[in-house]
Amino acid sequence: MSTRSVPLATLLSVVPYFHSRGAVPVSEAARDLGMTDKALRSALWQLWSCGLPGYGPGDLIDLAFSAEDLDDAEMVEVTFTAGIDRPVRLTAAEAVTLETGLAVFLDRPEVVEQAALRDLLATLRTAAGAESARAPQGSDTGDSDADVVRTAVRSGRALRFVYHSASSDSSTIRVVDPARLSVADGHSYVHGMDRGSGAWRTFRTDRMSRVEEVGPRRALGPEPQDDGEGERRLERAIVPAAGAWFLDEFGFHSVARRPDGDLDVEIAYFDRAWLVRFLLGHADVVTPADPVLAREIAERATAGLAVYTGSVPEPTEEEPAPGM
């Protein structure tokens, strides 16, 4: 057995190959995969100890082979794939996100070799374009908007777009002089000067639509450290043990488990209106620790339900002041 590790990309191609073909001679599989017999056997040995948490039967990738030892086997079959049953490919959205993140290192030769980086970026753009071309006609992938954004940032052009704000749940037309792109928590962002407010702002690219260039970018000046986001605040809340699954859906600022299984969490937010909507929308799994805020959420929910039942109380006329 070889102790040399096999690149992940190779491992991810070996399992789908065997999965689609059943029992295959090692020499034939090595030829099809562009590997030597020794390299393929090393990959199979490495895969045999990989799998899903639990690491027991039905969790680990399983092999069947025609000899007592894998190194001597002529025929090999993958009998359990642990979910790796097709070649791994980037979606258009994943390619765009990766390209955006890597573009940060352009013109920074001290960080990464520039020729290799530009080749990789070109490959990612081609992959994203190919995915977009395969999308059904009329589907809105947002790739064309993303292309306009990236091109404008690189070429120093201003942008006009419709932006949907999650905090106010409204859409507005913005004209922005973009400075740079960044990636955080799986989302890409444009940082730049918003001409409407005259201040630096940060925009999530997946909330931008109908993006177009509107001429040369204006002088930007220094970028403030907080990027115009304002002050982040934290709100303490409680997630019941039965709602612990929600931790996989939303990234809380901090999480601490109580002895009874319930969880104390902190919600990071910038806009209180967003916080209220968030708590209303997830009242079954998140309860604010602040009793005043909890009462406000309950009253808002009760008022909302009353609209559906038609039991909204009619406004009463105010009693006249004495002497009037």
Give the 3-state secondary structure of 25-52.
Answer: EHHHHHHHHCCCHHHHHHHHHHHCCCEC
CB 192 within 8 A of CB 161: no
The mean pLDDT of 148-172, rounded to a whole number, is 83
Residue 48 phi, psi dihedral angles, 5° rounding = -65, -20
Mean pLDDT of the chain: 76
pLDDT digits 0-9 by tens, 179-220: 888 776 667 788 888 888 777 888 888 888 889 999 998 877
pLDDT digits 0-9 by tens, 268-316: 887 788 788 889 888 888 999 999 999 999 998 888 888 877 755 555 4
Q: Which residue has the higher pLDDT, 211 or 102?
A: 211
Query: In sequence order, which residues have a C-beta less than 8 Å from that of residue 273 and are 6 or more positions away?
Result: 167, 168
With tokens 């999650």, the residue in question is: 166
The mean pLDDT of 161-174, rounded to a whole number, is 81
Give me the torsion for CA of 37, 41, 43, 48, rounded to 10°.
160
Q: What is the pLDDT of residue 96?
A: 66
Q: Closest Cα to residue 74, out of 107, 97, 40, 51?
A: 40
pLDDT level of residue 224 (50, 70, 90 thresholds): low
Is the pLDDT at 94 greater than 60? The verdict is yes
Q: What is the pLDDT of residue 129?
A: 56
Q: What is the pLDDT of residue 185?
A: 61
pLDDT digits 0-9 by tens, 106-148: 666 766 777 777 777 777 776 655 444 444 443 343 457 777 8
The mean pLDDT of 140-163, rounded to a whole number, is 78
Q: Tell me the C-alpha distance between 127 and 93, whole Å.
A: 10
pLDDT digits 0-9 by tens, 235-247: 999 999 888 888 7
Q: What is the pLDDT of residue 307?
A: 81
The structure's pTM equals 0.37
